[in-house]
């Protein structure tokens, strides 16, 4: 099934206990597409300024990622993010951010992309996510991500968006902020009342949780790893693996999404193993299957 993603392409500078990585490629759509491309074809919709130093066509040269929806906007500057991690590295500290082109109008969706059945609205302003959604038809499942900034500053738009999506992917802190509930089960149920049929709450090193509209609950730990070099993009890679697998199977139900979450967990484990996208870009199908099998074995009892 066709999978479309819209989100950011960024110029990142990241500091972790393992070092400093300056002006590297980042952005939610980049990490998502790299992860999803191991499972299905991806239609990429995004925008960069004419200062963008990265060649995305070369980056995705061996991957089934269609970049017809990438706009290089003359006179605009590419999104920039600078962040750092300390201690357990469970949460990034944003040291500087320049929205640049992300504060402008969203890119147009190519006509050939508008019939996409699976859609992921990666993290950006809810008003922009809805504008992109307005350009699409023939939708089977719409999933979205968000962040604290939009919960705090664009709450009304976010609630409108939630009424139009089937699945929300959100981290534990964001779920608590959005709902006012500190119990994650209660928070997930509150989010479902806002519209989505499924809610996936990411808990960093503690794994993830899914709750559906029928009251089913699914818990999965993170993939066990003893080295975390750079967590940037792990959540987007998780979403890419999840949605990529769901699109590959061509089904959206609780059982399918449980396996999709497991695949997302595996893809995130590659991302955290190196700076920027190097860890996930160098993964192979054999490595993915090996980690999936290991995750399945350690969660059986």
Q: Can you say how many angstroms the Cα of residue 47 is from the centroid of all Cα atoms in its chain? A: 17
Q: Which residue has the tokens 């719409």?
A: 142
How far is 12 from 216, CA to CA, in rounded Å? 38
Cβ burial of 104 (10 Å; 0-12, 13-18, 19+) is middle
- CA 232 to CA 89: how far, in whole Å? 10
Structural domain harbouring 228: 3-298
168 CB-near residues (< 8 Å, 6+ apart): 143, 144, 145, 146, 162, 191, 196, 198, 199, 200
Task: Tell me how many domains the chain contains.
Answer: 1
pTM for this model (two decimals): 0.95
Q: Give the residue from 204, 30, 213 showing the smallest Cα distance to 120.
A: 30
Give the chain's mean pLDDT: 94
Q: What is the pLDDT of residues 140-169, one digit of tens each?
A: 999 999 988 889 999 999 999 999 999 999
Predicted confidence (pLDDT) per residue in 197-252, tens digit: 999 999 988 999 999 999 999 999 999 998 899 999 999 999 999 999 999 999 88
Q: Is the pLDDT of residue 1 over 80?
A: no
Residue 86 clears pLDDT 80, i.e. is over it: yes
Q: How confident is the model at residue 123 (pLDDT cuts 50, 70, 90)?
A: confident
Cα–Cα distance, 165 to 124 (Å, whole number): 15
- The CATH number of residue 225's host domain is 3.40.1190.20
Low-confidence winner among 51-65, 125-139, 254-268 (lowest mean pLDDT): 125-139
Strand-strand pairing, 198-202 and 167-171: parallel
Percent of the chain with pLDDT over 70: 100
Q: Measure the CA–CA gap between 261 and 246, rounded to whole angstroms.
A: 9
At residue 151, the pLDDT reads 93
């Amino acid at each position: 099934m066709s999978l479309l993603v819209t989100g950011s392409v960024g110029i990142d500078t990241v500091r972790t206990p393992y070092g400093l990585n300056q002006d590297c490629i980042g952005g939610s759509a980049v990490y998502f597409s790299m992860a999803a491309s191991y499972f299905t074809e991806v239609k990429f919709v995004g925008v960069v300024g004419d200062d963008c130093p990265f060649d995305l066509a070369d980056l995705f040269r061996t991957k089934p990622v269609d970049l017809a929806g990438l706009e290089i906007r003359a006179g605009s500057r590419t999104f920039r993010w600078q962040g750092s991690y300390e201690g357990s590295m469970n949460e990034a500290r944003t040291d500087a951010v320049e929205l640049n082109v992300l504060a402008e109008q969203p890119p147009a969706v190519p006509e050939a992309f508008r019939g996409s059945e699976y859609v992921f609205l990666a993290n950006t302003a809810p008003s922009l996510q809805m504008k992109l959604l307005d350009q699409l038809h023939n939708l089977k499942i719409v999933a979205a991500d968000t962040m604290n900034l939009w919960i705090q500053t664009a709450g009304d738009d976010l609630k409108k968006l939630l009424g139009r999506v089937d699945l929300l992917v959100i981290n534990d802190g964001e779920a608590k902020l959005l709902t006012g509930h500190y119990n994650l089960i209660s928070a997930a149920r509150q989010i479902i009342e806002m519209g989505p049929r499924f809610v996936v709450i990411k808990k960093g090193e503690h794994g993830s949780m899914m709750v559906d509209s029928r009251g089913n609950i699914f818990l999965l730990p993170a993939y066990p790893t003893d080295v975390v070099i750079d967590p940037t993009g792990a959540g987007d890679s998780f979403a890419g693996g999840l949605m990529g697998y769901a699109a590959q199977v061509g089904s959206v139900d609780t059982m399918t999404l449980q396996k999709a979450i497991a695949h997302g967990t595996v893809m995130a484990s590659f991302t955290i193993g190196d700076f920027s996208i190097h860890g996930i870009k160098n993964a192979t199908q054999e490595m993915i299957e090996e980690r999936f099998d290991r995750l399945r074995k350690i969660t059986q009892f």
